């Protein structure tokens, strides 16, 4: 491998994409795969329904706090090492989940699983960027976007299928053979990627963990009744620590959190589009299953089948939009995709009281096509903003935008549901709450569309103290 050029044999290049995509899919699936099994898990580990939420929050917390430090570690020690370590820890944490007897054991195992998921997330895309030549970066990001889309949408489908014939432990056990197979193949097929000879900034790592951890706790507490003072204190603490964290990053030539990239206006707008689009996608992914099951009366297995067109359409379009991004303007492709996604969400919002499966299917497919078309060119713009040896920086920022977009979307849904009389009475949610929440999601998608259109007209940079512009999109 010519590490400076990032060129490997085509067969090895494809194997790298396949293996990193497989790892991304299982990591993304595990963010949501336990949602439908929470009542059963709570009963088996003798936990209350409210406390069982930590089975979800544990993973999300580990994923969020691990992104920035592990991306920096990947830059220093090599992404191929980070990828292998992430796989092994993910397999071991999955085994620990299977054998957990208490909620504390399960939540702790999920936290470690989330950390491993962060390692996989921040190493997969940089590996692809380093093994593909620059003129094929869009193709590489297309495959990565397909993996993210598959994983994000497949959680309810995979969960429904497994729980229809097996216990909840199999939701984690299935990761073991898949993770080991990917690890064994990765030893031979993923080339060694170069690292940087610089020290790991431990104070920045600890500060980022505290900042992002408090932000996750604060955002999660917003939707809980009576938790407003706690949420406010946690968010204020996150902002205060974040102020010191950002000042330290601005004073560092090679910051752990690549704030210097925000000097590029088009990079900043691409990150904003990523954040706002994930808000709308998460709102849809949370609300639509509730709507299909509690409002329209479908079974969990039927809900998975109704969401399947979204998954398949997004997975089909993402690898096609990647090569298109290598040839055509990425901001225009992203804006077209988001416009289609927004229209699909609007159509889903106006679904009606008694839709047929076909009525639902074409709306889900339209959302999947739009989102699949948007992700690859937008991700390419983010990744192409920094030198190849700093690939972990833009990937960390993109991952943070995605995670906090998902968290913000979940907070919006929780807040609307908490204000809904049907939800508070324990009888599901009302059709009015579904329409309102979906309308909010559609509005966020429209904002993302406007941001992508704006990016197409922006040139120049924003001067940050002590930092030149890091690269170009």
Q: Is 353 domain-assigned?
A: yes
CATH number of residue 69's parent domain: 1.20.1250.20
Range of the domain at 260: 252-473
End position of a domain, from candidates 159, 179, 199 = 199
End position of a domain, from candidates 182, 199, 216 = 199
Q: What pLDDT does residue 133 have?
A: 75
Q: Do 266 and 158 share a structural domain?
A: no
Q: What pLDDT does residue 361 have?
A: 92
- Strand, helix or coil for residue 318: helix
Q: Is 226 domain-assigned?
A: no
Q: Do 178 and 281 share a structural domain?
A: no
Q: For 379, which DSSP code?
A: H
Q: What pLDDT does residue 269 have?
A: 93
Tens of pLDDT along the chain (473 residues) come to 444 444 566 667 778 888 888 888 888 888 778 866 777 788 888 877 667 778 888 888 899 899 989 988 888 888 888 999 999 999 999 999 999 999 899 999 999 999 999 999 888 878 877 777 777 766 767 777 777 767 766 776 777 778 778 888 898 999 999 999 999 998 888 887 777 777 888 889 999 999 999 988 888 777 666 667 888 888 999 999 999 999 888 888 878 888 888 888 888 999 999 999 999 998 898 788 878 877 788 776 777 788 888 888 887 887 788 778 777 778 888 999 999 999 999 999 998 778 888 999 999 999 999 998 998 888 888 877 776 667 677 878 888 898 888 888 888 887 887 776 554 444 456 788 888 999 999 999 999 999 999 988 876 544 455 444 444 44
pTM score, two decimals? 0.79
Kindly give, in sequence order, each residue whose CB lies less than 8 Å from that of residue 168, ignoring residues fewer than 6 positions away: 34, 37, 40, 41, 44
Q: Is 223 domain-assigned?
A: no
Q: What pLDDT does residue 331 have?
A: 84
Q: Do 285 and 163 share a structural domain?
A: no
* Structural domains of the chain, count: 2
Q: Do 473 and 389 share a structural domain?
A: yes
Q: How far apart are CA 436 and CA 300, in angstroms?
A: 23
End position of a domain, from candidates 199, 216, 234 = 199
Q: What pLDDT does residue 425 have?
A: 41
Q: Do 338 and 443 share a structural domain?
A: yes
Q: Is 224 domain-assigned?
A: no
Q: Is 218 domain-assigned?
A: no
Nearest to 19 by CA among 63, 80, 67: 80
Q: Do 269 and 147 share a structural domain?
A: no
Q: Do 446 and 325 share a structural domain?
A: yes
Q: Do 420 and 291 share a structural domain?
A: yes
Helical packing angle, 431-455 and 265-290, nearest 10°: 160
Q: Do 437 and 357 share a structural domain?
A: yes
Q: Is 405 domain-assigned?
A: yes
Total residue count of the chain as it appears in this document: 473
Kindly give, in sequence order, each residue whose CB lies less than 8 Å from that of residue 465, ignoring residues fewer than 6 positions away: 250
Q: Is 206 domain-assigned?
A: no
Neighbours of 166 (CB within 10 A): 12
Q: What Å distances lie between residue 351 and 83, 110, 435, CA to CA?
A: 42, 36, 9
Q: What pLDDT does residue 1 have?
A: 40
Q: What pLDDT does residue 330 have?
A: 80
Q: What pLDDT does residue 421 have?
A: 58
Q: How far apart are CA 292 and CA 449, in angstroms?
A: 27
């Amino acid at each position: 491998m010519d590490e400076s050029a990032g060129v490997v044999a085509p067969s090895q290049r494809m194997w790298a994409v396949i293996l990193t995509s497989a790892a991304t899919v299982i990591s993304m699936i595990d963010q949501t795969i336990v949602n439908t099994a929470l009542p059963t898990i709570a009963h088996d580990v003798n936990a209350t329904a409210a406390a069982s939420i930590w089975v979800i929050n544990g993973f999300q917390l580990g994923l969020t706090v691990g992104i920035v430090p592990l991306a920096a570690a990947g830059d220093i020690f090599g992404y191929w090492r980070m990828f292998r370590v992430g796989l092994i820890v993910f397999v071991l944490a999955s085994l620990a989940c299977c054998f957990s007897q208490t909620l504390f054991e399960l939540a702790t195992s999920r936290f470690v699983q989330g950390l491993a998921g962060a390692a996989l997330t921040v190493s997969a895309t940089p590996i692809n960027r380093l093994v593909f030549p620059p003129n094929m970066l869009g193709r590489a990001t297309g495959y990565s976007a397909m993996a993210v889309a598959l994983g994000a949408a497949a959680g309810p489908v995979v969960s429904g299928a497994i729980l229809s014939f097996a216990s909840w432990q199999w939701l984690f056990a299935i990761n073991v053979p898949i993770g080991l197979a990917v690890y064994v193949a990765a030893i031979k097929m993923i080339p060694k990627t170069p690292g940087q000879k610089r020290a790991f900034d431990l104070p920045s790592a600890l500060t980022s963990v505290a900042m992002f951890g408090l932000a996750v706790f604060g955002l999660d507490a917003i939707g809980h009744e009576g938790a407003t003072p706690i949420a406010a204190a946690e968010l204020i603490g996150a902002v205060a620590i974040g102020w010191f964290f950002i000042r330290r990053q601005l004073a560092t030539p090679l910051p752990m959190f690549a704030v210097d990239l925000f000097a590029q206006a088009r990079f900043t707008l691409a990150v904003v589009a990523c954040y706002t689009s994930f808000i709308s996608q998460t709102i849809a992914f949370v609300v639509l299953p509730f709507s299909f099951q509690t409002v329209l009366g479908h079974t969990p297995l039927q809900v998975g089948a109704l969401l399947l067109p979204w998954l398949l359409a997004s997975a089909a379009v993402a690898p096609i939009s990647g090569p298109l991004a290598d040839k055509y303007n990425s901001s225009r492709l992203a804006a077209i995709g988001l416009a289609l996604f927004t229209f699909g969400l609007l159509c889903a919002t106006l679904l009606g009281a008694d839709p047929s499966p076909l009525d639902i299917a074409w709306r889900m497919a339209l959302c999947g096509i739009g989102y699949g078309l948007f992700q690859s060119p937008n991700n390419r713009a983010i990744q192409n903003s920094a030198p190849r040896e700093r690939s972990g920086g833009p990937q960390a920022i993109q991952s943070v935008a995605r995670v906090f977009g998902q968290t913000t979307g979940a907070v919006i849904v929780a807040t609307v549901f908490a204000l809904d009389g049907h939800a508070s009475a324990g009888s599901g949610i009302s059709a009015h709450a579904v329409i309102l929440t979906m309308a909010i999601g559609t509005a966020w998608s429209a904002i993302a569309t406007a941001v992508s259109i704006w990016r197409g007209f922006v040139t120049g940079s924003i001067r940050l103290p002590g930092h030149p512009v890091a690269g170009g999109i």
